[in-house]
């Protein structure tokens, strides 16, 4: 299938403002692009492109004083398959984990393993490690947290989400990641596009989505505690320890978000098998 993706983000800046942007698809999906994934700036500017320590594609800019519009629109090819399931995947003992996975066992800005360790072991310590344990964590988080955009705030951590029992997709992911790490399962935060493909359309504005990967059986698998069911059309943008590492924009100065729109939709097939 083909998926149309894009966004329009508008900032009002009180003065020249340095920004870091994580707004492109992940390098692992660049081969699926059917049109350029090119950020457009109004007023025009020349961003500096780089790869961060997690392998994500990033840009840095100096936003001018006044209004800045950041936008993009492109097509990507997707196999149309739901998230892979591997119930037989086993938990890898810590002494056998690859070195690059170890950072995803540690606490981070939004994932306070120290505050939730006892809770995690009391809930999931009796279970067989591996896929069943991660899936049980997803089920627990899915049932514990009530989703609502009105519950979002930039300072909310996994502990806050656990205590308040409310949040948005990133809060579901942060709590599940934290519980996995407490159980010695490497888990990393993911952000990207996830449209209403193969499911009833939600009566809410489209947004970027947050989910997580868990390392089992020698590789990474996708999990989503908010939806708690395999989904179609997940387009990865970035991975990191938590939302700090993959924020779509990080600003270093006084600016106000004046507009925000995200597009992610399947391109309908036309007569004769052609796709528009």
**What is the SS3 string spanning 173-193?**
HHHHHHHHHHCCCCEEEEEEE
Residues 122 and 236 in one domain: yes
Given a contact cutoff of 8 angstroms between Cβ atoms, the answer to whether 104 and 181 are in contact is: yes
**Is residue 231 a contact partner of residue 198, using CB atoms and an 8 Å limit?**
yes
Q: State whether 53 and 155 are in the same domain.
A: no
The DSSP code for 52 is: -
| CA–CA dist 65, 67 (Å, integer) | 7
Verify that 223 and 254 share a domain, yes or no: no
pLDDT on residue 235: 98
Residues 145 and 260 in one domain: no
Q: Is the residue at 101 inside a domain?
A: yes
* Same-domain status, 29 and 46: yes
Instruction: Determine the pLDDT at residue 275.
Output: 42
Of 59, 61, 65, 67, the C-alpha closest to 16 is 65
Q: Does residue 85 belong to any structural domain of this protein?
A: no
**Position 221 in a domain:** yes
Whole-number pLDDT of residue 206 = 86
User: pLDDT by residue for the chain (276 residues), tens digit each?
Assistant: 999 999 999 999 999 999 999 999 999 999 999 999 999 999 999 999 999 999 999 999 999 999 999 999 999 999 999 999 999 999 999 999 999 999 999 999 999 999 999 999 999 999 988 999 999 999 999 999 999 999 999 999 999 999 999 999 999 999 999 999 999 999 999 999 999 999 988 878 889 999 999 999 999 999 999 999 999 999 999 999 999 999 999 999 999 999 999 999 999 876 544 443
Residue 89 lies in a domain: no
Residue 117 belongs to a domain: yes
Residues 104 and 187 placed together within one structural domain of the fold = yes
Q: Is residue 209 located within the same domain as residue 263? A: no
Give the model's pLDDT for residue 78.
97
**Residue 266 is assigned to a structural domain of this protein:** yes
172: in domain? yes
Q: What's the rounded Cα separation, in Å, for the pair 214 and 181?
A: 9
How would you classify the pairing of strands 187-194 and 234-240?
antiparallel
CATH code of 9's domain: 2.60.40.2250
Which residues form the domain of 99?
Answer: 94-240
The strand pair at 146-147 and 66-77 is best described as unpaired
**CATH code of the domain covering residue 156:** 3.10.620.30
């Amino acid at each position: 299938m083909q998926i149309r993706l894009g966004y329009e983000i508008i900032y009002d800046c009180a003065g020249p403002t340095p920004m870091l942007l994580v707004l492109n698809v992940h390098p692992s999906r660049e081969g699926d692009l059917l049109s350029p994934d090119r950020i457009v700036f109004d007023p025009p500017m020349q961003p500096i492109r780089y790869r961060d320590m997690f392998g994500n594609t990033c840009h840095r800019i100096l936003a001018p004083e006044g209004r800045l519009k950041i936008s993009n629109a492109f097509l990507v090819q997707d196999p149309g398959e739901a998230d892979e399931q591997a119930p037989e995947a086993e938990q890898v003992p810590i002494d056998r984990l690859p070195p690059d996975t170890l950072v995803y066992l540690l606490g981070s800005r939004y994932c306070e393993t120290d505050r939730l360790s006892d809770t995690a072991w009391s809930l999931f310590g009796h279970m067989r490690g591996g896929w069943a344990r991660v899936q049980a964590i997803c089920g627990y988080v899915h049932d514990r947290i009530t989703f609502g955009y009105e519950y979002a705030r930039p300072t909310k951590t996994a502990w806050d989400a656990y205590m308040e029992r409310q949040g948005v997709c990133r809060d579901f992911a942060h709590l599940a990641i934290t519980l996995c790490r407490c159980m010695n399962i490497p888990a990393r935060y993911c952000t990207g596009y996830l449209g209403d493909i193969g499911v009833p359309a939600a009566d809410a504005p489209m947004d970027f989505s947050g989910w997580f990967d868990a390392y089992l059986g020698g590789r990474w698998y996708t999990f989503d505690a908010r939806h708690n069911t395999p989904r179609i059309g997940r387009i990865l943008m970035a991975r990191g320890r938590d939302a700090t590492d993959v924020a779509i924009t990080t600003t270093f100065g006084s600016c106000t978000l004046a507009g925000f729109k995200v597009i992610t939709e399947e391109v309908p097939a036309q007569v004769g098998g052609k796709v528009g």
